[in-house]
Every structure is written in C-alpha cells, then in structure tokens.
Amino acid sequence: MNKRRLLLRTGALAASTLLLAAIGQAQDFPPAKPVTLVVGFAPGGAADAAARLIAKKLGENIGQSVVIDNKAGAGGNIAHQLVAGGPADGTMLLFGSIGPLTIAPHVMKLRYDPFKDLAAVSGGVNFPNVLVVHKGLGVKTLAEFVALAKTRPGGVDFASTGAGSASHLAGELFNQRAGIDMVHVPYKGGAPAMQDLIGERVASYFSAPPTALPQVEAGRLVPLATTGSTRPAYMPGIPTVAESGYPGFEALNWYAFVAPGKTPAPILDRWNLEIVKVLNDPGVKEALDKHGLTPQPTTRAELTAFMRKEDAKWGGIVRERKISAD
C-alpha cells in the first residue's frame, strides 16, 4: 500500500472514530450527571424566571436534574465566557442573550467568539421593550416625544441598563430612525434606571415591560410605544414604534440556548429536540406568558441565521452611532 492510500485510510478511520464517539455520547443522553444551565444575570429577573421554568420541565422530561447557575456580571459576558470554555459533553448549556451574543462583540474586546466558541442549540424566549417617559415631560404620544427631541437637540436623554445593552441599542436605533439625538445615560441595571426616571432625573427609558408596567398602571409613567413588530397581548393599548410612523422598526430582547462550541453535533441535536419540546408545552407557554415572555423555539440552523442577522444589524448601529463600552 502506497503512502498516500495509507494516509487517506488513517484519516478516514480517525473521522469514523470521532463520529462513533459522538453518536455514542448522544445515545447516552441524558448525561449521567446533573446538567448545568448557566444564566448571566442575577436571580429574580426575566431571564432567570424563564430559565427556571424551562429547566424544571427539561429535568422532568429527561429524568435528570437541570440546575440553574447564576453568573451575573459584565452584562452577561462572564457567563458567556465561562460556557465558551466549559465541558463539551452535553452537561453545560447557556441561556445566552442578545447583548453578549450580538452586541458586545462590537463594543468591547471579548475573550470568546460567539460564533466559534459557542454552538447554537435553540431559540428561547423574546419580549419587546416599552418606551416610557416621566409625566413631567409633558408628552403623551411618540410623535410629541420626537417633536420635543427635535426642538432640544442633545437636551432629551434616555436611560439604559448599561452601555451596549439591549435597551441602549433600542434607543440608538430610534435615534437613527427618528433623526433625533437623545443622550444616552447608562445605569447598572433596570432598578436604578427606573428609579431615576420616576424621579424625573432622566427623561425616558426603553424598559422591559415587567419593570415599567406597574409604574404605568400606578400613573407615574407615560407609555409611548413598544419595540416589537406587533402589540403584545398584555399591552394591547400601546402602539408599536413601527405603527407610529417608523415601519420595520424592531428591537427585541431575546434569550437563546447555546452550548460550548466543541459539543458534538448529535448532542446538540438532542438538546434541540428536548428544548423545542419544552417551549411548545402548553403549560410552559402559559407560565412564560404570565411573565410577558414569548417562546421562540427554532432549529439550530435557524438560530444561527437569526444570530447572524442580529449581529449585522446591531454591528451597523454600533459603527454608525460610534458606540463604545465606556
């Protein structure tokens, strides 16, 4: 046998061995030890609530514990970096989010590549922001807000949960589309941002609905528009930005399931099957709906395509608006 044939056979044998090992791992599903679902935010928020609901049902379905590990900090980047270097054997998943996956790579230097060091598993949940203003601003509609901002260039500000966050980019996207120049005021989370908005120390905030709606119902804030493509069922009286004169405008918060990048494809496929099953479960859907969250089950390929689309969209906004993490 000549040297070339020997090399080809050796290569084919190695590839077959790897494939059989991956198949064997998938056949051993669920893993023999508890699964860790890492969440990049503190307990009690929307991401944590959704992750716990889904993890509980996943554990029941696969007959193995799925344990939540909250790794808050750096806008979720600490958790994403942890999972990027985590065990690629199906025992670790990440409830990844829009910021670290598709915004942060454009505003700061990361120690991981979302498209190389993390592997898409399935979409998770999404929800829109709602633009709210304090009553002292004296506006009741989005059109009135834009008119005010145009008469005060650089004189109207908006809060966010931090530089490069989803609420920050929603405001910058609206700056671009409306032709205004709101000033960004970053906060270390939604609670302090909401506190300053109610205290009229900042004019507006693209807020998560669970944070804003109690204040709207109490008459402390005025809702102007939501940032999804359609009105959420729990906010039927609030128009979308798109229907208020800015067609095509959409800025969703979303969370998706990803795994360490070297996890074998058969294991990723099995996790996709299990996660999609949970997200389509009527009881889970009802529970998520109570938190204002919409299930977003996808194939692995669909999630990858969605992430690349979001990456291109927000990368363009970051460059145009000259956004940095400072």
Same domain for 228 and 212: yes
Paired strand residues for 294? 126
Same domain for 151 and 123: no
Sign of dihedral through CA atoms 81, 84, 87, 89? positive
Task: Answer whether 130's CB lies under 8 Å from 238's CB.
Answer: yes
Q: Is 22 within a domain?
A: no
Question: How far is Cα 43 from Cα 26, in angstroms, rounded to an integer?
Answer: 31
What b/e sequence results for 77-112 when a residue is b if at least 16 CB atoms lie within 10 Å of its CB, and e otherwise?
A: bebbbbbbebebbbbbbbbbbbbbbbbbbbbbebeb
Q: Please tell me the pTM assigned to this model.
A: 0.85
Same domain for 139 and 225: yes
Q: Is 16 within a domain?
A: no
Paired strand residues for 206? 131
Output the six-digit token pair for 104. Answer: 């942060």
Q: Is 26 within a domain?
A: no
Sign of dihedral through CA atoms 113, 115, 116, 119? positive
Residues of the domain holding 76: 31-127+253-321
Same domain for 150 and 112: no
pLDDT of residue 164: 86
Same domain for 112 and 41: yes
Same domain for 208 and 155: yes
Q: Which of 244, 272, 303 is the last residue of a domain?
A: 244
Secondary structure of residue 224 in the 3-state scheme: strand
CATH number of the CATH domain containing 198: 3.40.190.10
The DSSP code for 31 is P
Q: What is the pLDDT along the chain (326 residues), one digit of tens a residue?
A: 555 444 445 444 444 444 444 444 445 789 999 999 999 988 887 888 899 999 999 999 999 999 999 998 888 899 999 999 999 999 999 999 999 999 999 999 999 999 999 999 999 999 999 999 999 999 999 999 999 999 999 999 999 988 888 999 999 999 999 999 999 999 988 889 999 999 999 999 999 998 899 999 999 999 999 999 999 999 999 999 999 999 999 999 999 999 999 999 999 999 999 999 999 999 999 999 988 899 999 999 999 999 999 999 999 999 999 888 76
Q: Which of 244, 272, 288 is the last residue of a domain?
A: 244
Task: Answer whether 271's CB lies under 8 Å from 93's CB.
Answer: yes
pLDDT of residue 21: 46
Counting the structural domains of the chain, the total is: 2
